[in-house]
Structure 1
Amino acid sequence: MKSRTSLIRVQRFQVQEIQRRVADLEQMLDDFRREEEELEKRVRYEQQKAGISDEAHYAYPTYAKYASMRRDNLAQSISELSRQVDAERDKLADAFEELKKVELVEETARTRAKAETRRREQAELDEMALTAHSRAADIR
């Protein structure tokens, strides 16, 4: 029973650890998305300010080029990070399923132990009642 309790603790720890990783990755993903949006706004602003939206134009703003490249890199990072988040969520679902299996086994064992204890107690009470009844019958 003690080994199952330890196993449950380990499983819970694993679930919590994966939950932390998922939360961290999702926070990073949100940060990247906000930064990507901000870069998009900056690119549009620079294009409007210069009056040039063609990146191939010789007078295209340098900062807009840099921001566009950074935005494109962020888009790739967001894509990769999204795959990592999905993979971690799958791991979390698997770990949670394992935890539930172990908890179910523990609960079943506890239920069986309680039933066995109740059965023994009832047998003792029945024995005591039979003894008391036979003593009462002997006295009469």
Structure 2
Amino acid sequence: MLSFLQRIRSKFGKSNVQVATAPSRNQSSSPISVSYNDQGVCLSFEGQGNQFVTWAEIDLIAIRIEDEFLPFPYWYVGNKDNLLRISNDVIGGKKLFFDGFCEHITGYKSDETFKIIIEASAAMEGSFIVWRAANAAT
């Protein structure tokens, strides 16, 4: 279809026909991203760090399946006073959820943690505590 529209455009010369192409794998259409460093986790909108939680502040990592149009998982990271809500498909998410948490959260890298993540991934609804600090506030 795209090549058909491009041929029409080239045949008729420059016109008001605009051909949109899908973003490449390296180019994302989402303005939201998450990153981490040695200090903590930063949730950004259009490149501006809007929310931040330090590694020491994190006492809970949970997944909640929310149903806006279709069931979709969100990760909740932080504590009762500072909780980030991170979409499962956010830019940088996979790296944080697996590499970052394993590197910076003691006890996160375990068979039990990954069983819970798999269970949450298959669920249509519910909340799942992935990791919780022993001193976490309720």
TM-score by shorter chain over 0.5: no
TM-score range, shorter chain: under 0.3
Structure-2-length-normalised TM-score: 0.23
Structure with bigger strand share is: 2
Structure with bigger helix share is: 1
Bigger Rg, which one: 1
> Which one scores higher on RCO, CA 8 angstroms, separation ≥ 6?
1
